[in-house]
Chain A
Amino acid sequence: MTGNGFRTKLVRGVPLVEDPAREACFTCVDLEREMEEWPDMSDRSRRERLHRHMNNECGALEIAAQALVDFPDVPWELRLRLARQAADEARHTAGLLQRVRELGGHKGEFPVMNFEWGLATLLPSMAGRLAVQNRTFEAGLIDLLGSLQHTWREAGDTRTAELLDAILADEIVHVRFGNQWIRRLTEADARVLLQVAHAVRTLGHTVRALATEGDVNRSGFIMGTKPPPAVNVHGRLEAEFTEEEVKEVLRQAGFRAILPHHLGTAG
């Protein structure tokens, strides 16, 4: 049981908070290999991508909402930001559900995974959650959306591309306030850095334990063979990552980047 009253579960030996409430039509799974995913842009693949994204946005809504419950004593301005984030993620969820339906899909058509909820709500500090949820997961989404909207546009689906572009704009705001508040909390109390370090260690340990490279998912797709999304340098700089931090991400990503003109050959 966690401090906030949720039960935990063990997945490949690491603890995660049990899934948030989902309707019976959804199948919740714990591992990527249990998901369905296709590398092409077939109708089925499009619906699965949007369905997966919808559940991820729903998870982000739940994480932001739970932070309001778990940390009532953080500064009001931060709570206000979290409340706004929850509302943004709710709108994203609704927009994606609408698009899933427009493409002939429905809730529960594909399995869903609540990994981000399971990890983020396990963390006992506000700064730790900002570091993992806003600065890591949502920053990863900045990269992903930077690439994906082009993929959808090239596939002829301008409507979905525009939806993803609107979501990207909001996510940049969420990452930016995460960065700003980690700085503010750290400046107020240097011990906050320990909380951030603990959160990042937990994230690394959990991701390594759940790594699925080489596994074959339910659709027959070999996990780990798809290249990671290009680093969205412009988006990350807008979200107030420092140039040094962006260069570090570029280094880790092997320099696959959407480069802004003013950075030239970043790195």
Chain B
Amino acid sequence: MTFTVRARADAIATFRFISVSLMETLARWVPTTPELEVKVLFGRHLWELAQHADAFGRRTAELRLGPQVSRDPAPGFLAFLTTLRATTETAGRIAKFYDGALSRLESLYRDYLTRTDGLLDEPSVRILERALSDLTRLRHEAAEVRRERPEIGTVERSPDGTEPSPSLDAVVQFRSEQVGAESSPA
């Protein structure tokens, strides 16, 4: 059993929503973060999130949902994104974004990859694999800035980052049956 086309579309459109939201969060933080190296980091990385959102948006069209369609995540994850956005201290922003939000995103993408059909949904798989590679690089680059500015990097790890990541079912609001009769080829 595998995801239906509609369920794939729901998930990819939710990933798009989250990517746009994270892009906007970094954009919001750029003028209000004093440290130049961190400002630059956020500025470079918001473009990465924008590219992910764009790729997901192209895929939503292929999945018959329309181009660049976003779907709200479940209320709990929406609240997490809202709280993240309201963070004001630089150390907290870095910790919550790179340790908290991006690790959750990686977990969601991996969850999707284990559950979708790798052949029938190969375009989504490729997008997510590239996104995962990007997210790893983003976290490494954030770590480099923490090393360069140790007074920022010494902040305690965000509590959000130590909580278990939510499952795909807890984040995506599926609007139809998640699984259909399609099955992986033998």
Contacts and interface: CB of A to CB of B under 8 A. Distances in A.
Given A21-B32, A58-B36, A62-B31, A87 B24 contact: no
A69 B26 CA distance: 10
A117 interface: yes
B47 A61 contact: no
A65 B43 contact: yes
B40 A94 contact: yes
B43 A76 contact: no
B16 to A, nearest CB: 10
B57 interface: yes
A89 interface: yes
Nearest to A22: B34
B47 A23 contact: no
A107 B36 contact: yes
Given A86-B46, A87-B44, A90-B44, A23 B32 contact: no
B169 interface: no
A80 B50 contact: yes
B45 to A, nearest CB: 8
Nearest to A19: B31
A53 interface: no
Contacts of B40: 58, 61, 90-91, 93-94
A69 B50 contact: no
Interface in A100-159: 107, 117
Identify the interface centre among B30, B35, B47: most chain A CB within 10 Å of its CB: B30
Given A61-B39, A86-B43, A90-B40, A68 B34 contact: no
A117 B23 contact: no
Given A58-B39, A61-B40, A76-B54, A87 B27 contact: no
A83 B31 contact: no
Contacts of B140: none
B33 interface: yes
A69 B28 CA distance: 6
A198 interface: no
B107 interface: no
Contacts of A84: 47, 50
A80 B49 CA distance: 10
Interface residues of B, number: 28
A79 interface: yes
Contacts of A65: 26-28, 30-31, 42-43, 46
Interface in A53-72: 58, 61-62, 65-66, 68-69, 72
B23 A83 contact: yes
A45 B163 CA distance: 52
B43 A61 contact: yes
A267 interface: no
A76 B39 contact: no
A231 interface: no
Contacts of A76: 54, 57, 68
Contact of A21 (B33, B43, B44, B48): B33
A187 B75 CA distance: 39
Interface string A18-41: 001111100000000000000000
A97 interface: yes
B31 A68 contact: no
Contacts of B36: 23, 58, 93, 97, 107
A23 B34 contact: yes
Interface in B49-64: 49-51, 54, 57
Nearest to A63: B31
Nearest to B34: A21
Interface of B: 23-24, 26-28, 30-37, 39-44, 46-51, 54, 57, 68
Given A61-B30, A66-B27, A93-B40, 15 more contacts: A21-B32, A21-B39, A24-B34, A58-B40, A61-B43, A65-B28, A65-B43, A66-B30, A68-B27, A80-B50, A83-B50, A87-B46, A90-B43, A91-B40, A94-B40
Q: Which 9 A-B pairs have the closest CB atoms?
A: A90-B43, A87-B47, A83-B50, A65-B30, A20-B31, A68-B27, A65-B27, A21-B34, A62-B31
20 contacts: A21-B33, A21-B39, A22-B34, A23-B36, A24-B34, A58-B36, A65-B27, A66-B31, A68-B46, A83-B50, A84-B47, A86-B27, A87-B44, A87-B48, A90-B39, A90-B42, A91-B40, A93-B36, A93-B43, A97-B36
